[in-house]
Each structure stands twice: as structure tokens, then as C-alpha cells.
Amino acid sequence: MMYSKAEVVQAINMSLGAMHCTRCADGFEPNEKIVNSNGELWHTQCFVCAQCFRPFQDGIFYEFEGRKYCERDFHVLFAPCCNKCGEFVIGRVIKAMSASWHPQCFRCQLCAKELADSGFIRNQNRALCHECNAKVKAEITGRYVCQKCHGLIDEEPLRFRGEVYHGYHFNCTACGTELDSTAREVKSRPGLAANDMNELYCLRCHDKMGIPICGACRRPIEERVVTALGKHWHVEHFVCAKCEKPFLGHRHYEKRGLAYCETHYHQLFGNLCFVCNQVIAGDVFTALNKAWCVHHFACSVCDTKMTQKSKFYEYDEKPVCKKCYDRFPNELRRRLRDAHENTMKKNV
Amino acid sequence: MSQSTVSCLPPKMSKAKKVLDEARETGECELDLVEKGLVSFEELPGLFNMSNITRLTLSHNKISLINPGIANLLNLEILNLSNNQLRELPVSLSSMPKLRILNVCINRLDNLPRGFGAFPVLEVLDLSYNNLNEQVLPGNFFGMETLRALYLGDNDFEYLPKEVGQLKNLQILGLRDNDLLELPREVGDLARLRELHIQNNRLQVLPPEVAQLDLLSNKSVMKMEENPWVNPIAEQYLLGISHVIEYLKTDTYKIIYNRHMQGGRSGPPPPKADKSKKASRVRA
């Protein structure tokens, strides 16, 4: 849409015989005022609006299909009206959705973003931006929208930091290969709990770093994982250090970095009281390869309680207080003494 | 329990009775009657009605007979009759439902009642220093599956019945100071055994199965001195128990053992020292 300004010149030095009016084709009288507009000549009475036949105000006219109109008539006849605000559109007109718009009036009907420069998509007779269109479409089809390119995701999406993406926008943190939906997000690595520290790895690299390795056979654990002693184990490889039978979910006991079944833990570490045969919860008395709870550490002959300081004799690897030992048959005492002395001699 | 007034009691009330009275008053469950000069359970009136007691210790007395009524003590877990003069035990003992520890060491037992092995929950049985041998063990003796410790030291066993292998829970087997001429191969079945006392017997060889036992751990005890071992064992023993165990595992030893058991050698070693001085031999 353009308007021009015409020039009025005095026809003095021109050869009038060769000139004629563009509208009526008649010649010009000498000294008559002639209008010159872009090299075309007009009688002043002929240089008028094609609609109202009145001269152009300030010589400003609008030309459309070879005819000239005054500003008012041109607007009335041809200028576009904005479909939103109803005003004439002067300057840049956006023709879209079978209507005209001011650039600032043509916006996404969902997010109200200006669409003049980014383009739009017609969706159920609405003008939508690409993002909103993709969202709407995804909602309808149940598909995901990539948060990077806003396109629909046809296959399985790649999930990352709580959003979905096309896998091909990312590369493996370790080997750099392009990713797909099988990529693994490594969350909260030790000391890094924040979501934005998460990283993506291809399955291969993830397997190498993330899949637990059995502490016994050093092979990856595909099925159930037992975690104990600060390591991972195949269920069937987490066994008693003594009898090598798997615990299979049964209780195990840890001692010096090794795991034991109940039987062997108590057998090896003597935590069953010799008298009550119960696990000793509190203080443990240990002597003669046995253990006693506080309540049951006593002379094996008279059942008199003994303390840490009590002195006792050994009889068949059981403690006997001096009082009882003195009441043993002389003959037995003599033999026990001899046996003891022989053992001492042998050990020297 | 109605007791007559104090004034009616004999002037010298026995110490044992005092203990019983006190226990009845306080509800004490553990009775200590050590060295009270007791000869018979008659001196402990009302004892068998005290069904709440869990431990009865009668060491260093002169009791020669246990009244079968003792089985009324349904809650008794520990019965200690060490150093008495028992000649026999009542079969009713074996029916006591909670008895876990029975200590009758240093007595004069020369037999055990028929059906003795019927204890439902017995864990520790000390029969050491008596006059027992394999002939007098009742048929069900090794049916005591709950047994953790069996002390048979200072008796007169020459052979140990092979049924000993049935004692699956046995951790301690004391056979010190007997007349054992051999051990059955079934000792090797005692998977939980961690103490084996066989010192001072007449053993020349050990069954190779002994090597299966866990006798070398830090909680294990193997006492085997003072036996007339065949030379190779005696030599290994000088180096240590672990050498003996390793040697028992060798094929060489298996050959030696088999040859020995086929009786190629001269007769059994002679009996050990005279036992007639043993206190358990004293005749009433």
C-alpha cells in the first residue's frame, strides 16, 4: 500500500503541443497549472480522488489498481481493518486466518505470544504458536512434546531432570554417543543430590558404572541384589564365611568385615552363654574357650557366682572354684595336677 | 504349706531347712544347698512341692539316693549333684520337662536306669568321675538330640558306641581318663563338635574322619596327650594338633589306620594305672 505526493508545476517552458492530461487526454492551456505525478501530467481539475472527485488534501493520494483515491476514500474502500481492534491497519498488515491484523494484534490464542515473526499454526480455527500447538496436539494424541524442540515425540521419550525430550538432542556424558530413550539418568551421585546435577549416560556406559557388581564373583548382578558389608552380592553368593552356605534372606552376623550364619558366628565368637545357651546381650565373660553371661558365670561344681577377678581351676575345660577343687577326691586332684604339670612341661 | 510354730522345732534346726524356709518366703527360684552334710532328700521336707524352683544345687553332700519325687519340680532347669555318693539315678529324672543341665560328676554311679536318654531338653550332661562303661549305657542313651556337652571323663569306657554320631548338636565330648581302645568313625559325624577330650586313654589310632571336625579354630579344644599313639601320630603330635589333623587326611594314614583296625598289630595296650583308689569305687 503506498501513497505518493504529486508536484504542481507551471507549464511554461514545456512544449504544450506534446503534452496531454493523463485522465481526460486533452491538452493544456498556456500558463495553466499542470500536476506532475511520477512523470504523468494532469489538469488540476482532473487530479482528484476517483471516488469523491475532490482534490487531494496536501496532494496526498493513494493509488490502487491504477486509480488514485484520497486518504479517506482509500481507507473506506480498500484499507484493511484489524480483525482484533477494528482499526485500519496502516503500515505492515498481517494477513492471516482470512483476516487482517496489526502485527501487535495477531497473537497466539493460548499464550498470547506475538506471532508476526515466528509464524503460526492453524489449529481448530485458532492461531497458535508452535509450542502451544504441539502441546495441544500431544494432549490429544497422548504423545509427549520434546521440551527442547517442542516437536512431538513419536517413540519413547527420554526423561531427564523431570522433563521429556527426543533422545537425539543429547549425548552420553561418558562416551559422547547420541542417545535414545534407553539412556539412563544418573541421579544424585554421592555428594550431589540436586536434580540439576543429574547426568545422562548411554546404556552401555551406565552398565559399566551403575550396575552393581557381586562382591564374590565380580560379575554384574542382573537379578536380586543383596547389599551388605558395603558391597553388593548375588543372592546365592552372599554366604557364611565359615560354612559357605548362602543366607538366602536369613539373618547374618558381621564380624571383622565377614558375614556368618547364626550358628557359626556364635560358634566362632562364643557369644552364646555356656549355661543358658542364649545370645549374650550385655557383658561377656570369656574363659576356657567358652562364654558366659553375667548371670551365669559361676563355678561349675557349686554354681557359686564368680566375677572377673575370681580365680578358678580348670576341670574338663570348665571353671571350678578353689573351695570346690579342695573338696575333690585327693586321688583326682593329684591326677589333675600331674596332667597340668605335664602339659606345662610339654609347652616349655 | 503349714509349718508348726518355731518353738515346736527341734532345738537344732538344720541349715538346709532354713534355706528352704527362706526360699519359700522370698519366692527365690534358685536353691543353693552346697555342703550341708545332707545324706538324703528326707532332710529337705517340702522341697518337692516347691515347683517354682529352676535351679537346685546340692554339691558336696553325702546323698546316695535321689527320691523319684524330684520329678515334681516341673520348672527345674539345672540340677547339680556334684560330689555326692549316688549309686543310681531315678528314671523319673529323664521325664523332667525343663531340665537342661544335669551335673552328677564325682559320684559312685555304676549304671544308668533303663530309658535314661528320654530327657526332652537336656543340653549338658556331666557324668564324669563315676564307674560307667559302654555295657551299662541304656539303649536310648544317644537319643538325646539336644545335648550340647557330654562329659564322660574318669569312667571305665573301653569302646564308645557308634551311636554317638546321632548327637547332632554335640559341641563338647569329654572322654578324659577312660580305657578307650578306639574311637568309632562316627565321631566324624559330630559336625558341631569343638571340644574333644581324649587324653589319658589307651588309644593307638584315630579314625581319619576326626579330621572332618572343626578342632583347629580359636574356640576349639583337642586334648589327646597320654595315649599310646602309633609312631606317625605321636610324631605329628609333637609338632602340634594341626599337624595331627592334616596327617589324618592323608592317604598314607588311611592305609595305616585300615591295617591297624584289621588287627595286624599285637594285642591291645595294657590297662592304665590301678583305679581302685578312685573315690567312686568306695563301697558303702
The predicted complex's ipTM stands at: 0.91
CA torsion angle B84 A331 A304 B65 (round to 10)? -10
> What range does the domain containing B212 cover?
16-231
pLDDT computed for residue A190 by the predictor: 47
d(C-alpha B165, C-alpha A145), whole Å: 74
Residue B186 lies in a domain: yes
Q: Counting Cβ atoms within 10 Å, is residue B231 exposed (0-12), middle (13-18) or buried (19+)?
A: exposed
Residue B226 lies in a domain: yes
pLDDT per position as a tens digit, A60-109: 888 878 788 888 888 777 777 888 888 888 778 888 888 888 888 888 88
Contact indicator for B122, B143 with CB cutoff of 8 Å: no
Mutate to test the interface with A, among B101, B127, B152 (most CBs of A within 10 A): B101
d(C-alpha A184, C-alpha A204), whole Å: 10
Contact indicator for A42, A8 with CB cutoff of 8 Å: no
CB contact under 8 A, B32 and A339: no
Provide CATH 2.10.110.10 ranges for chain A: 1-78, 211-269, 271-347
Can you say whether the dihedral through the CA atoms of B112, B113, B117, B119 is positive or negative?
A: negative
pTM: 0.60
Q: How many CB pairs under 8 A join A and B?
A: 93
Partners of A343 on chain B (C-beta within 8 Å) are 225
Residue B270 lies in a domain: no
Q: CB-CB: which of B128, B194, B199 is closest to A267? A: B194
Partners of B222 on chain A (C-beta within 8 Å) are none
Q: CB-CB: which of A302, A332, A346 is closest to B60? A: A302
Does the domain spanning A1-78 belong to CATH 3.60.110.10? no
Nearest residue on chain A to B282, judged by CA atoms?
A329
Residue B254 lies in a domain: no
- Classify domain A211-269 by CATH number: 2.10.110.10
CATH classification of the domain holding B33: 3.80.10.10
- The tally of domains found in chain B comes to 1
pLDDT per position as a tens digit, B11-63: 455 788 889 999 999 999 999 999 999 999 999 999 999 999 999 999 999 99
pLDDT along chain A (348 residues), means of 10: 54 63 81 79 84 83 82 79 82 83 88 85 84 79 81 83 87 87 68 64 76 81 81 90 88 86 77 87 86 93 92 95 95 92 73
Q: Which residue has the cell 554317638?
A: B164
Mean pLDDT of B224-244: 94
Can you say whether the dihedral through the CA atoms of A78, A83, A85, A86 is positive or negative?
A: positive
Residue B111 lies in a domain: yes
CATH class of the domain whose range is A271-347? mainly beta
Q: Is the model's pLDDT at B198 over the cut of 70?
A: yes
pLDDT per position as a tens digit, A233-264: 988 999 999 889 999 888 888 888 889 988 78
CB contact under 8 A, A324 and B83: yes
Q: Is the model's pLDDT at B115 over the cut of 70?
A: yes
Strand (E) positions, A38-153?
A: 40-43, 60-64, 67-69, 94-96, 99-101, 121-123, 126-128, 144-145, 152-153
